[in-house]
């Protein structure tokens, strides 16, 4: 599985787990405090994913950096070919 997809699934799962935890804690008051519960769940999920999944996050960054490098190399090759074609025309 691609690292970025796995990281996204993990973060969504953490958010949903945190929402469930907030729902259990608030119980009947969920209707009144839903906005606070969602905000806290987002902060909890972000913190856990930031502190607990560093290696996975680094793999995602490496994959995106490789893609950007390949794209940059392809663009540079295309520019060189275009310049050569313009000189020959």
Say which residues have a Cβ less than 8 Å from residue 2's Cβ, sequence separation at least 6: 63
Q: Which residues of the chain have pLDDT under 50?
A: none
Question: What's the token pair of residue 81?
Answer: 């070919």
Q: Which residues span the domain enclosing 79?
A: 3-88
CA-CA distance, 14 to 49, in Å (whole number)? 8
Question: What's the token pair of residue 32?
Answer: 């009144």
Residue 9: the pLDDT is 95
The alpha carbon torsion through 17, 55, 1, 46 (nearest 10 deg) reads: 30
Residue 27: the pLDDT is 82
| pLDDT tens-digit map of 54-79 | 999 999 999 988 888 887 766 665 66
Question: What's the token pair of residue 22?
Answer: 């907030």
The tally of domains found in the chain comes to 1
Residue 73: the pLDDT is 63
């Amino acid at each position: 599985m691609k690292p970025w997809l796995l990281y996204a699934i993990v973060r969504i799962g953490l958010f949903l787990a945190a929402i469930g935890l907030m729902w259990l804690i608030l119980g009947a008051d969920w209707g009144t405090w839903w906005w606070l519960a969602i905000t806290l769940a987002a902060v909890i999920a972000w913190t856990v994913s930031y502190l607990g999944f560093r290696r996975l996050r680094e793999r995602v960054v490496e994959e995106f950096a490789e893609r950007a490098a390949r794209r940059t190399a392809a663009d540079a090759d295309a520019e060189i070919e275009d310049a050569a074609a313009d000189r020959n025309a």
